[in-house]
Amino acid sequence: MTKRSLDVICLGRSCVDLYGEQIGTRLEDVQTFAKYVGGCAANIAIGTSRLGLKSALITRVGDEQLGRYVVETLGREGVDTSQITVDPERLTALVFLAIRDRQNFPHIFYRDNCADMALREQHIDPAFIASARALVVTGTHFSQPGVDLASRAAIRAAKEAGTRVVFDIDYRPVIWGLVGHAEGEGRFVASAEVTQHLQSILPDCDLVIGTEEEIHIAGGITDTLSAVKNIRELTAATIVVKRGALGCVVFPEAIPDDLDAGVSVPGVEVEVFNTLGAGDGFMSGFLRGWLRDEDWQVCCRLANATGALVVSRHGCSPAIPTWAELSTFLSDPEGVTPIRENARLNHLHQATTRRQQWQEVRSLAFDHRAQLEDLAEKTGGDRNRLTTLKQLIARGAAQAANGDAGRGVIVDDRYGEAVLNGMSGNGWWVARPVEKPGSIPLEFEAGDNLGLALRTWPVDHVAKCLVFYHPDDDEGLRRLQEDRLAMLHEACRDTGHELLIEVIPPAGRPSDDTTLARALANIYARDIFPDWWKLPPPSPAAWRAIDSVIQAHDPYCAGVLLLGLNAPIETLKSGFDAAAGQPLCKGFAVGRSIFQAPAEAWLAGTASDELTVEAIAANYRKMLDLWQRRGRD
């Protein structure tokens, strides 16, 4: 096939899934919900992108916050969103879902006159369709006249351009108006009218994929083999039957008299947690193989494994694996089950699906609480003024960073809540502390309610934890601190927050070029995988040891940030120079070296607000310049 800019375009449903967080209960009794991008077409667009294909989505969203959430999330996932149009009148669709047990997943579709069902022929660009190797159309977008015409227009454009047409039957009786709203989880109701409608699509398809129930509705009969034969009479497309835990079977040509006589590939045995989204994962895996001209066995193996990973997790699109994760799973599927309890596979999933991959972070750290309280007391200042001081520091940071792509802050919510609110969602890398200042052994300000506290944070806030830790500490102390870090790590994974661990060996303890590396190795040995490390500037020899440990345990680590320990700005130059050429070093998170002197003067009443902001901005600019010039002079 001619080389094209896109591998696959998906057309159809996009919505916001609201997944019940309480497991094993009725939807009526769910108390809290997790928000994800959903909808068959959107899920497949995300899934194929995660698996290394260039994907795009054609759909519509509302002109509101949830519509923007859908588009922004797809964009972060690498999906081409250029053909997602905004509907000024209709709302983005919603689905409420619950996990009642391993067989029942009640959900309610809020799709009355929703935005994606307003897709029309004029929204289909034939040139865009021609830019892809394949077009995926989904069954629900043939359920109403307007979207039916739009989907058929896309198929015509694909046929004219030589773009292959993939039909995901995606049968939802509730969307076809065959059952009531409370029966949204139902997957099959016989309907001659729906069968006739779906069969009119089949002749133009190159690949048809469906569950046995979906094959039944397309084939017009509840015997699977007979239904497949009926479909074959209407199309020369390859037919793929998804059979859940049994795997799948492919019929590239003539249909044999035994269902298992097709290209049959067994499923992957996993513990089922949630079957919702499994079909979208299956399609994503199958397309990864099919569009790279793999044989049927490989296509099915990829599809079955992707579906198996999805059924092991909460949610649809967020549960789909990346190619790195899928490859790891396929190398030893038995070695990583049960999946929900496998720390290393779950870390790989999280690390390869981060919301943003930061190339550099040059952060001003002013999460200090105890130190500033002491400074206020020393200068005779009022602790209540620390809230204003944090805002002045933030103003200085913004003035110096001036839109820098790597701008960042670390700030607490005790005195910096207003700063956090102002910088969240505005292009800043934002971290905030969880540790109780100066605690040895490590304690958390939220105590045992750490997980609940993190649930109140914006998801893009990084949980920062300073631990005074030495690898040669007394075993009891060392294990207690590691236990606390493990608790934090689990809480971050449960809530979707990135984790930064700041390691500082306690003052007075002997240290050498291996100390930090050994500390990191101990933490990794507990299956704790922070996204970020924040470390005192290492020597070249210490860098080599640290790099070796991180590469061995977590090659997907987001990076190391250097701290300042209140050293003079010029003194930090040697540490920055030593970091030059270290790929793992992504920047710095320096605080008192920048703000200490201006803050003291302001608290003492000898400097105005504006002079304080200017002084902090000037110091931050010096730090940014030192970083940019590291290793050059």
245-255: per-residue pLDDT in tens?
899 999 999 99
Q: Residue 490: inside a domain, yes or no?
A: yes
Shared domain for 37 and 173, answered yes or no, is yes
- Total domains present in the chain: 2
Shared domain for 459 and 316, answered yes or no, is no
Q: Residue 373: inside a domain, yes or no?
A: yes
Instruction: Answer yes or no: is pLDDT of 633 > 70.
Output: no
Q: Residue 356: inside a domain, yes or no?
A: no
Instruction: Answer yes or no: is pLDDT of 372 > 60.
Output: yes
Q: What pLDDT was estimated at residue 3? A: 79
Q: Residue 230: inside a domain, yes or no?
A: yes
The domain in which residue 316 lies consists of: 6-351
> DSSP letter string over 284-336?
HHHHHHHTTT--HHHHHHHHHHHHHHHHTSSSSGGGSPPHHHHHHHHH-GGGG
Q: Residue 577: inside a domain, yes or no?
A: yes
pLDDT bracket for residue 138 (50, 70, 90): very high
Q: Residue 426: inside a domain, yes or no?
A: yes
**How many Å is the Cα radius of gyration of the chain?**
28
Shared domain for 64 and 210, answered yes or no, is yes
Please give the Cα distance from 132 to 195 (Å, whole number): 29
Q: What pLDDT was estimated at residue 336? A: 78
Whether the Cβ atoms of residue 254 and residue 291 lie closer than 8 Å to each other: no
Instruction: Answer yes or no: is pLDDT of 391 > 80.
Output: yes
Last residue of a domain, one of 351, 385, 411: 351
Q: In the predicted model, what is the mean pLDDT of residues 142-151?
A: 97
pLDDT digits (tens, 9 = 90+) for 435-475: 999 999 999 999 988 999 999 999 999 999 999 999 999 99
CA distances from 181 to 34, 108, 174, 517 (A): 21, 6, 7, 57
Q: What pLDDT was estimated at residue 381? A: 80
Q: Give the residue among 566, 563, 558 at the shortest CA–CA distance from 575.
A: 563
Whether the Cβ atoms of residue 212 and residue 182 lie closer than 8 Å to each other: no
- For helices 592-603 and 370-379, angle between their N-to-C axes, nearest 10 degrees: 30
Q: Kind and range of the H or E element at 451?
A: helix 450-454
Residue 214 is part of a domain; what is its CATH number? 3.40.1190.20
Q: Cis bond leading into 338, ω under 30°?
A: yes
Q: Kind and range of the H or E element at 499?
A: strand 499-504
Q: What pLDDT was estimated at residue 335? A: 76
Q: What pLDDT was estimated at residue 2? A: 61
Q: Residue 46: inside a domain, yes or no?
A: yes
Last residue of a domain, one of 324, 351, 378: 351
pLDDT digits (tens, 9 = 90+) for 493-528: 999 999 999 999 998 889 999 999 999 999 999 999
Last residue of a domain, one of 327, 351, 375: 351
Q: Kind and range of the H or E element at 219?
A: helix 212-219
Instruction: Answer yes or no: is pLDDT of 1 > 70.
Output: no
Shared domain for 337 and 394, answered yes or no, is no
pLDDT digits (tens, 9 = 90+) for 206-248: 999 999 999 999 999 999 999 999 999 999 999 999 999 899 9
Q: Residue 202: inside a domain, yes or no?
A: yes
Shared domain for 377 and 343, answered yes or no, is no
Shared domain for 302 and 340, answered yes or no, is yes
pTM: 0.94
pLDDT averaged over every residue in the chain: 95
Shared domain for 345 and 367, answered yes or no, is no
Contacts of residue 44, defined as CB under 8 A and 6 or more positions apart, other chains included, come to 8, 10, 55, 136, 168, 280, 283, 284, 287
Shared domain for 524 and 421, answered yes or no, is yes
pLDDT digits (tens, 9 = 90+) for 165-188: 999 999 999 999 999 998 878 889
Shared domain for 342 and 399, answered yes or no, is no
295 CB neighbour count, 10 Å cutoff:
11
Shared domain for 402 and 324, answered yes or no, is no
Residue 484 is part of a domain; what is its CATH number? 3.20.20.70
Q: In the predicted model, what is the mean pLDDT of residues 540-563?
A: 97
593 CB neighbour count, 10 Å cutoff:
24
Shared domain for 455 and 344, answered yes or no, is no
CA atoms within 13 A on the CB side of 322: 15
Q: In what order do the strands lie in the sheet with 93-97?
A: 33-38, 15-20, 93-97, 107-110
Instruction: Answer yes or no: is pLDDT of 414 > 80.
Output: yes
Q: In the predicted model, what is the mean pLDDT of residues 267-290?
A: 92
Whether the Cβ atoms of residue 261 and residue 225 lie closer than 8 Å to each other: no
Shared domain for 490 and 576, answered yes or no, is yes
